[in-house]
Amino acid sequence: MADITWLPDGQETFDKVIAAVPEGMRAAMKPKLTEMLAAKAGGKKVSRKIVEAWVKEDLPEPQRSVLMSVLGLDKPAAPEASSLKKAAWKVKGTVKNAADLAKMKAAGQELLAPKTLRITVASASCGLAKGAGAVAAALQDAVRKQKVNADVVMVGSNGMSWAEPVVSVIKAGRPCVVYGSVTADAAADIVKAAASGKVVEELALMRVDGVKVDVTGEKIKYASDKVPAALAKIKDGAKIDFFKKQLKIVSRNAGIIAPDRIEEYIALGGYQALAKALGSMKPADVIREVKESKLRGRGGAGFPAGIKWEACSKAAGDKKYIVCNGSEGDPEIGLHKSFLESDPHMLIEGMLLAGYAVGASEGYVYLNDRYLLAIERVQTAIEQAEKVGLLGKHILGSGFSFSLKVKRGGGAYVCGEETALLNALEGSFAEPRPRPPLPVHQGLNGKPTVVNNLETLSTVSAIVLKGGAWYAGIGTPASKGTKIVALSGNVARPCWVEVAMGTVIGDIIDVFGGGTASGRKVKAFQTGGPSGGLLPASQLKLKLDYDALGKAGSLLGSGGLLVMDEDCDVVDVARFLTEFFLEESCGKCTPCREGVKRLSEIVSCIADGRGTKAQLALVKSMGEAMSAACFCALGKTAAAPILTVMKHFPKDVSAKMLKTIN
């Protein structure tokens, strides 16, 4: 037998080859094969690679094919992971007490304002849709080629969705420079300018001298007070209306921190509220603060969160749950989820606080099935929180234990209704349950359950830190605090912003959205999703307020604000929205199942220009009947789009009437 020096993996691979030879011939074949392999190796030690190359290059067919498949060589090599997919962030250390938290905070601050260069790419869904992934890859490439020492980080969105992809350059001692509408081609220039203290002026949106988070009191100063000459022409971000007129509580970290680095959340005061609650507050104290804050449910109905929590904490049960409602099925809510994609830990901290307050040990984050990025980021955040010990047993050395899971929905609008959502979590059908019992008494698996919207839960950490009274000082008498609003439709600058309750809707459209994209006047707008119907331009002076919008026949909803200009056919939009209800009706109750079907037929007929007065009368009475008889809010409000159009846009409707009959 030829002499062969084996490496362990070479021997192993060769054994596989021999095992593949039919038994009857094995003994006869082995010397011959060994000889061939020895020749191939030419005196070198035989590794797996050499055996594989020999099988691939030297053996005759059909043996070659058979052996290639045995050795797994027939599969195409896995494509190289794109440079965008960086290795998962590894968290170091644990957080068992306040000292650990302070240590991790320092580590996070070092990441946010490093001595070297930090280049961030806004990569919520709105950024990725505009090519943020390619830009990040190009930046990394440029950093490598130019041999610059820089950390290229995927962060969340700062709200300026129209300017995506947004890139920020942070260099010690200099203001942060924010670029907008960056392309992959511009990456090399940006890196070059960053390394040499210059600016690519034509792409620069603004400069930011530092970060000051009012809620937590954390500050990060990027620059000394003197503005370098190279940056003199760039606008100061602190003086731009887009930021000046916002009040950032829930979105305070968005666009600054990397959603997949728990240290960066902690750096800006993250998990301080949890430490405060576990360290110095009783569960009843937390509930008292939330009650005092007058925080109302951000999902649409506006039920006071503190009262819900109190009811659940008093309910008898050996086990209780916290459920985050991230169903978000409204067809114009798109950018609303950006805050979650940008800062998932804020939701986790809110759920921990809710769990502590009501005595729950388990939580579920239920997310819309299309929110893949949000699901991934919340999942990563949960894993990191578990790893450092902020989720799990005896959190921060207390007696409080809490576990959290993400559940991906199946795609049903009705799951925004909390009992239908509970059904979905239990693996049942997307249909609402009768109430009572209320979920706070018998919710998930029949146990007391708090179901809160994701924005509601994300607000809690700020309330616990700064107190309910502080929060109650913001907003209007009926609506406290801030609201995230996602602007879409015919608007010059689609974006998402956080503003104080009571902000005038017309101002939101003008200041943040820059008016209509077409430049024509606003004709109609919609808040609160399809259930809100359409409101006319004369109502633009309405304030962002549960009661004010309710009185106007609409609702605050979960935060979409849709704009339509003068050219918009509002009757056609009513048809579109009625068809939405038709698709999403679960069919459980007859008034909704049959009512929406007939309603949709009639509205479609009107929108086609074949309307009659009798139909309008029928729509009215059907709307009343459905509002009274339907099982849940979906059916109750399904007639809202056409009814509001009939009420506010009579000219548009009469233009759709059949001329011969009427």
Partner 1 sequence: MSDIKWLPDGQKTFDKVMAAVPEAMRDAIKPKLLQMLAGKAAGQPVSGDLVKTWVKEDLPEPQRSALMAALGMKSDGDQKPAAPAAAAAGWQGNAEVMFERMLQEVPDMMREVFRGKLMGIANEKAKGGPITEDHILSIVKEIVPDPFKTTILKAFATMGGVDLSNLEKLIESTPGGQETVIGLLHAVQAEFGYCPREAVVMISQRKGVPMATMYRLLTCYSAFRLEKPGKHVVTVCTSTGAYVNGGGALLRQIREKIAATGANITLETARDLGCANAAPAIMVDGEIFSGVKAQAKLEQIFSESN
Taking CB under 8 A as the criterion, which residues in 534-563 touch partner 1? 560, 562
Q: How far is the CB of 334 from partner 1 (least distance, A)?
A: 4
Q: Which of residues 241-300 bind partner 1 (CB under 8 A)?
A: none
Q: How far is the CB of 95 from partner 1 (least distance, A)?
A: 29
Which region, left, alpha or beta, applies to residue 519 given φ > 0 means left and ψ of -120 to 50 means alpha? left
Give CA torsion, residues 106, 110, 113, 117, to 10 deg.
Answer: 180
Residue in the structure block whose two tokens are 């070659």 = 64
Q: Which of residues 379-408 bind partner 1 (CB under 8 A)?
A: 407-408
- Side chain identity, residue 24: G
Q: What distance, in Å, lies between the first and last C-alpha atoms of the chain? A: 103
DSSP state letters, 455-520: HHHHHHHHHHHH-HHHHHTSB-SSSBSEEEEEEEES-SS-EEEEEETT-BHHHIIIIIT-S-SSSS
Q: How far is the CB of 161 from partner 1 (least distance, A)?
A: 4
How many residues touch partner 1 under the rule CB under 8 A: the total is 73
User: Is residue 427 within the footprint of partner 1 (CB under 8 A)?
Assistant: yes
User: Is residue 337 within the footprint of partner 1 (CB under 8 A)?
Assistant: yes
Q: Cα angle vertex 533, ends 532, 534, to 5°?
A: 120
User: Is residue 1 within the footprint of partner 1 (CB under 8 A)?
Assistant: no
Binding test (CB under 8 A) with partner 1, winner from 203, 287, 424, 465:
424
User: Is residue 171 within the footprint of partner 1 (CB under 8 A)?
Assistant: no
Q: Which stretch binds partner 1 (CB under 8 A): 220-228, 272-280, 332-340, 461-469?
A: 332-340
20-25 CB contacts, 8 Å cutoff, 24+ apart: 20/66, 20/67, 20/70
Q: Which stretch binds partner 1 (CB under 8 A): 185-193, 383-391, 449-457, 489-497?
A: 489-497
Binding test (CB under 8 A) with partner 1, winner from 4, 7, 29, 111:
29
The helix (run of H) or strand (run of E) holding residue 656 is none
How far is C-alpha 655 from the chain's CA centre?
A: 41
Token output for 470: 């502080």
Buried b (16+ CB within 10 A) or exposed e, 368-377: bebbebbbeb
Q: Which of residues 596-635 bind partner 1 (CB under 8 A)?
A: none
* 359, 320 Cβ separation under 8 angstroms: yes
- 514 phi and psi angles, rounded to 5 deg: 70, 30
User: Is residue 470 within the footprint of partner 1 (CB under 8 A)?
Assistant: no
Q: Omega into 304 within 30° of 0, i.e. cis?
A: no
Distances in whole angstroms, Cα of residue 399 to Cα of each of 26, 93, 324, 393: 65, 21, 23, 8
User: Is residue 488 within the footprint of partner 1 (CB under 8 A)?
Assistant: yes
User: Is residue 154 within the footprint of partner 1 (CB under 8 A)?
Assistant: no
- Give Cβ neighbours of residue 584 (< 8 Å, ≥ 6 apart): 329, 412, 413, 414, 634
Q: Which stretch binds partner 1 (CB under 8 A): 280-288, 302-310, 574-582, 603-611?
A: 574-582
Q: Which of residues 122-141 bind partner 1 (CB under 8 A)?
A: 125-126, 128-130
Q: How far is the CB of 271 from partner 1 (least distance, A)?
A: 28
Closer CB to partner 1, residue 160 or residue 281?
160
Closer CB to partner 1, residue 308 or residue 408?
408
* 199, 235 Cβ separation under 8 angstroms: no
Q: Provide the sign of the torsion angle of the four alpha carbons 197, 203, 206, 212, taken in this order.
A: negative
Closer CB to partner 1, residue 296 or residue 408?
408
Q: How far is the CB of 208 from partner 1 (least distance, A)?
A: 21
User: Is residue 162 within the footprint of partner 1 (CB under 8 A)?
Assistant: yes
614-621 CB contacts, 8 Å cutoff, 24+ apart: 616/646, 616/653, 619/643, 619/646, 620/646
Binding test (CB under 8 A) with partner 1, winner from 1, 3, 8, 22:
22
Binding test (CB under 8 A) with partner 1, winner from 329, 468, 557, 635:
329
Q: How far is the CB of 571 from partner 1 (least distance, A)?
A: 13
Q: How far is the CB of 33 from partner 1 (least distance, A)?
A: 8
Closer CB to partner 1, residue 292 or residue 569?
569
Q: Which stretch binds partner 1 (CB under 8 A): 103-111, 112-120, 390-398, 409-417?
A: 409-417
Closer CB to partner 1, residue 304 or residue 411?
411
Q: Using the 8-state DSSP alphabet, how is residue 335 labeled?
A: G
User: Is residue 28 within the footprint of partner 1 (CB under 8 A)?
Assistant: yes
Q: Which of residues 502-521 bind partner 1 (CB under 8 A)?
A: 517
Binding test (CB under 8 A) with partner 1, winner from 302, 439, 489, 557:
489
Binding test (CB under 8 A) with partner 1, winner from 3, 23, 57, 202:
23
Closer CB to partner 1, residue 6 or residue 576?
576
Closer CB to partner 1, residue 161 or residue 503?
161
Q: Which of residues 188-227 bind partner 1 (CB under 8 A)?
A: none
Q: Cα angle vertex 597, ends 596, 599, to 5°?
A: 60
Closer CB to partner 1, residue 126 or residue 464?
126
Binding test (CB under 8 A) with partner 1, winner from 358, 430, 602, 607:
430
Q: How far is the CB of 246 from partner 1 (least distance, A)?
A: 17
* 528, 505 Cβ separation under 8 angstroms: no
Q: How far is the CB of 339 from partner 1 (least distance, A)?
A: 12
3-state secondary structure of 611: strand
Binding test (CB under 8 A) with partner 1, winner from 15, 386, 426, 601:
426
Closer CB to partner 1, residue 400 or residue 525?
525
DSSP state letters, 366-420: EE-TT-HHHHHHHHHHHHHHHHHTSSBSSGGGSS--BEEEEEE--S-GGGGSHHH
Q: Which stretch binds partner 1 (CB under 8 A): 157-165, 249-257, 277-285, 387-395?
A: 157-165
User: Is residue 411 within the footprint of partner 1 (CB under 8 A)?
Assistant: yes
Closer CB to partner 1, residue 25 or residue 628?
25
Closer CB to partner 1, residue 64 or residue 647?
64
Give CA torsion, residues 14, 15, 19, 22, to 10 deg.
Answer: 50
Closer CB to partner 1, residue 76 or residue 436?
76
> Where do runs of H (alpha helix) occur along 237-280?
241-244, 262-267, 272-280
- Side chain identity, residue 108: G
CA distance 121 to 210: 18
* 152, 184 Cβ separation under 8 angstroms: no
Q: Which of residues 518-537 bind partner 1 (CB under 8 A)?
A: 526, 530
Q: Is 662 exposed, middle or buried (0-12, 13-18, 19+ CB in 10 A)?
A: exposed
What's the half-sphere exposure (Cβ side, CA atoms, 13 Å) at 532?
A: 31
Q: Which of residues 30-69 bind partner 1 (CB under 8 A)?
A: 31-33, 59-60, 62-63, 66-67, 69
